[in-house]
Amino acid sequence: MPAGQKLKALRNNRNITVREVERASRRIAEAKGDKRFRISNGWLAQLEKGVSEPGICKIFSLSVIYQEQFVDLIRLYDVDINEIKKYAPVASPTLTQLLSQDAGKHDRLAAVIPISGQRPTGTSLVPEIPGAGGITPFSPGEHHRVSLTYGHIGSDDFTMYPLIRPGSLVEIDTDQNKLKSIAWHSEFERPIYFMELRDGYACGWCELNGNQLLIIPHHLSPASIRRFPYPREAEIVGRVTGYNTYCIDPEPESLDTATEQKAMRAKSISK
């Protein structure tokens, strides 16, 4: 049923006429000192026919008059405020992001599907996996643990390349949020951590040097070692316990740009 017809049904269920809606909204507008909250009977008729859509002020008035929750009314127009964080990685695909625990309730890992032919470029935390057109579930898990959350590696993040390519999804155990010195014999055994920084997120090998946290890139990566005051400017979200990664390289120009940036940084340091 179209949104306008649903609004009309709500009004009829309350036995309220369009004239009564107009009078009630006028009182609300006068009380608020803002005419945007006023609803004319002609405009309401157009709204219920689906000819127009309401702004937030008029939705507020309808919410008061119909005694319905504001969020329920805007949901009639396919706007769900609970999805704001869910679509953060879609709006800012260049960032490396962290996903919420809800992302792994039914799936331990997920695949990042390019949106409109573009891969996300940054690493970030993301509250949920968008149900369509973004990051979609794949590979069902055995059991869901509360301590598990997920991170998305942005398409500009080459820290763990080629072990974990840009655009990958990583599984993070937030219970393991302290650096531990353990014996490892290969890069596959070396602990990888997901970190929250002041201006974003990062994923990589870590070492502590005094009060400095060193983010160590893969030895084949074009990225450089990064240093942050710990824990003032870097906090460990958890240890990466799994990841799914593309089996092909990212766009050549992205890799070339990352390599050039590393060379420029090395040149400036040598000076």
Q: Are residues 105 and 227 in the same domain?
A: yes
Same domain? 106 vs 179: yes
- Residue 101 pLDDT grade (very low, low, confident, very high; cuts 50, 70, 90): low
The answer to whether residues 254 and 124 belong to one domain is: yes
**Which CATH number belongs to the domain containing residue 39 in this structure?**
1.10.260.40
Of 79, 104, 139, the domain-final residue: 79
- pLDDT above 70 covers what percent of the chain? 73
Same domain, 111 and 48: no
Beta-carbon contacts of 192 under 8 Å, excluding residues fewer than 6 positions away, are 160, 164, 170, 203, 204, 205, 239, 240
Are residues 199 and 160 both part of a single domain?
yes
What per-residue confidence (pLDDT) applies to 129? 47
Question: Length of the chain, please?
Answer: 271
Residue 55 sits in the same domain as residue 133: no
Q: Name the burial class of residue 151, with classes exposed (0-12), middle (13-18) and buried (19+) by CB atoms within 10 angstroms of its CB.
A: buried
Q: What is the pLDDT of residue 106?
A: 36
pLDDT in tens, 153-211: 888 899 999 999 988 888 899 999 998 888 889 999 999 999 999 888 999 999 999 99
Domain match, 72 and 112 both: no
Q: Tell me, yes or no, whether 139 and 11 share the same domain.
A: no
Instruction: State the Cα–Cα distance between residues 59 and 48, nearest whole angstrom.
Output: 13
Name the domain count of the chain. 2
- Do both 148 and 265 map to the same domain? yes
Final residue belonging to a domain, choices 19, 52, 79 = 79
Which CATH number covers residue 228?
Answer: 2.10.109.10
**CA 255 – CA 223 distance, rounded (Å):** 10
Higher-pLDDT residue of 37 and 199 is: 37
Is there a single domain that holds both residue 260 and residue 139? Answer: yes
> In one letter, which amino acid is 233?
E
224 shares a domain with 127: yes
Query: Tens digits of per-residue pLDDT, 85-100?
Result: 777 767 776 677 776 5
**Burial of 32: CB neighbours in 10 Å, binned 0-12, 13-18, 19+:** middle
Q: Residue 44 belongs to what domain range?
A: 3-79
Which residue would you say has higher pLDDT here, 118 or 59? Answer: 59
Q: How buried is residue 14: exposed, middle or buried, by Cβ count under 10 Å (0-12/13-18/19+)?
A: middle
pTM for this prediction:
0.57
Whether residues 26 and 94 share a domain: the answer is no
- Which of 37, 58, 79 delimits the end of a domain? 79
Contact at 8 Å (CB) between 203 and 159? yes
Conformational region of residue 238, where left means phi above 0, alpha means psi within -120 to 50, and beta covers everything else? left
